[in-house]
Amino acid sequence: MNPAIVVFIYLGIVLYIGIFAFRKGTSTGEDFFLASRSLSSTVFLLSLFGTNMTAFAILGSSGLAYQRGIGVYGLMASSSGFVIPLTIFFIGTRLWAIGKQYGHMTQVQFLRDRWECSGIGTFIFILTAAMLIPYIIIGVMGGGATLEAISHVFDEQGQPVMEEVMIKGEKVLQQKHLVSYEAGGAIVAIVVMSYVFFGGMRGTAWVNAFQTTMFLCFGSIAFFLIGRDIGGFDTVMERLGMNPKTSALLSRQRIPQAEFFSYMFIPLSSIMFPHIAIMCMAAKKVQAFKKTVIFYPLCIMAIWVPSVYLGVVAADQFPGLKPGEADDVILRMLTSHTDLWVAGMLGAAIMACVMASDSQILALCTMFTEDIFAYYGHKERFGEKAQVWTGRVFVILVTLFAYWAAVKLKDKAGIFELAIRFAFSGFASLAPVMLAALFWKRSTRWGAFAASLWVALSVLGLWYLYDASSGIAPKPGEPPVPIISSLGSLFLRTPGNVTIFGSLAVMPMCLISGVLMWAVSLLTHPPSKETLEKYFPTVRSVG
């Protein structure tokens, strides 16, 4: 129980931070949802990065590297290190300025005002909320997997203790653990729900800053200790290279070129994620964005390098894991190659990043209360205090749904593939909508509606193709399989995704979204002169 005890102590600290933030806050909506727009530069950087580095980055990247090799680092980390800081600088700063000037708290509030649209704004709210939910589910899945993995039972000789369990009516041998996936997910969900419920944006930002600092400090320690215990990474790499079954993991051989290139579109999703945009509006000064642009790429490298590398090393230590089981390989490495107390501390550090679903839950709560509750007149009717409590009730409902879905999806979907398939692809394809709103004067609400409708239909189509082709999915290392034989290589099924002519669906989704935004805007009337002058003034005042 040593590692689990350390993690529970960590969870208690996190919960205390959220309650302390509650005592520092006020009962106003802007304070609960945006911390009164007062986040300092350091807290902003750490919380923004921690919000982005979720179970997807830690467990998902190492699980995918276990299956597809060292090239996973190039899929996301390399392009993210350039694209995300630039989008935060060029788009985040403008959202911050507009939000502060006109009182916007969400993207939908800005888009409604910018394009003078009500129903279209509600449609965009429904779409973004639906695509954000899978990302919240990922956090609960990661929490359950983390607590289960660090509570595995070993005998006095360090060998795993096995037990018989019933899975789908069949007896299966698996390693005994003291905290189940379901119990672990419930504990994480309750803790996250509690400090978001009480602390709002202030509590979430403080917790994320603490979590990010903790992981950055302990991640390098874990990397060093594991490397020493396995006899050096060079020895393991040599074994992997000599083994025909694993030699491909040391190259980009298991990642086709078209798919590799299409991953460059994924980081466009960062600024379209509601929790990122809302956090940008919570910064105290615009100078906070400067530090983010400088240090963000370094933080990405510090997180992704050990995660991907340990995922590859785990292929030598734990061969034969299934895609769903591969998500916890980094935790298996910790419990097998470090002292139990150290494993607990490092497990808590991993839990720090895994629990970043707090920001997504708060963002969904903010969107509901601002874009639906307040927009349709309930704030004026019931008051601002009722708005805040409505948001808190919504936090509970969202968390309960995320936990239910995480239990249902156990062993059915890998964290990395789940994020790419729905959350990242959908939000990246909405990037042309935000770019047009901020920088193209001629853009219209109907162009935004056409692009958003395309994204919604594409995500649903992608979901259908993935589900329909689950029975023909190839194993890792095997070539893609055509989903519809008469269409040739148009739709291909890989072990974890559906590709279009060999590329991830996000690339055509994003390009067609941009074309629709442009073409339909040119065919429809622009907003009024008053609105255009509001957001694109011809003469700017000094001061």
| 366-403 residue pLDDT tens | 888 888 888 887 777 777 788 888 888 888 888 888 88
Range list of β-strands (E), 241-371: none
Question: Could you tell me if residue 474 is inside a domain?
Answer: no
Residue 320: CA count within 13 A, CB half-sphere = 0
Q: Which residues of 414-428 are buried (b: 16+ CB within 10 A; e: fewer)?
A: bbbbbbbbbbbbbbb
Question: Could you tell me if residue 510 is inside a domain?
Answer: no
Question: Could you tell me if residue 169 is inside a domain?
Answer: yes
- Spatial distance between the Cα atoms of 56 and 51, rounded to a whole number of angstroms: 11
196 neighbors 358 (Cβ within 8 angstroms):
yes
* Confidence band, pLDDT 50/70/90 cuts, at residue 543: very low
Higher model confidence: residue 304 or residue 28? 304
Question: Could you tell me if residue 526 is inside a domain?
Answer: no
* Confidence band, pLDDT 50/70/90 cuts, at residue 119: confident
Question: Could you tell me if residue 328 is inside a domain?
Answer: yes
Amino acid at 127: L
* Confidence band, pLDDT 50/70/90 cuts, at residue 111: very high
What per-residue confidence (pLDDT) applies to 413? 57
Other beta carbons within 10 Å of 392: 16
84 neighbors 269 (Cβ within 8 angstroms):
no
Query: Which burial class, exposed, middle or buried, applies to 250 when counting CB atoms under 10 A from its CB (0-12, 13-18, 19+)?
Result: middle
**Percent of the chain predicted with pLDDT > 70:** 86
- Spatial distance between the Cα atoms of 391 and 197, rounded to a whole number of angstroms: 8
Query: Looking at residue 63, which CATH number applies to its domain?
Result: 1.20.1730.10
pLDDT digits (tens, 9 = 90+) for 498-507: 888 888 888 9
What per-residue confidence (pLDDT) applies to 507? 92
∠ CA 37-42-43, rounded to 5°: 50
Tell me how many domains the chain contains: 1
Across 286-290, 354-358, 451-455, the highest mean pLDDT is recorded for 451-455
Question: Could you tell me if residue 196 is inside a domain?
Answer: yes
**Lookup: tokens for 297:** 């790429």
Question: Could you tell me if residue 147 is inside a domain?
Answer: yes
∠ CA 358-363-368, rounded to 5°: 130
214 has a pLDDT exceeding 80: no
Identify the three-state secondary structure at position 23.
Answer: helix
Model pTM above 0.85: no
Higher model confidence: residue 171 or residue 13? 13
Structural domain range at position 70:
2-414
Question: Could you tell me if residue 214 is inside a domain?
Answer: yes
* Confidence band, pLDDT 50/70/90 cuts, at residue 56: low
**Lookup: tokens for 392:** 């808190």
What per-residue confidence (pLDDT) applies to 275? 86
Higher model confidence: residue 248 or residue 23? 248
What per-residue confidence (pLDDT) applies to 542? 45
349 has a pLDDT exceeding 80: no
Residue 377: CA count within 13 A, CB half-sphere = 0
Q: Tokens 């893609």, residue? A: 480
pLDDT digits (tens, 9 = 90+) for 426-446: 899 999 999 999 999 999 999
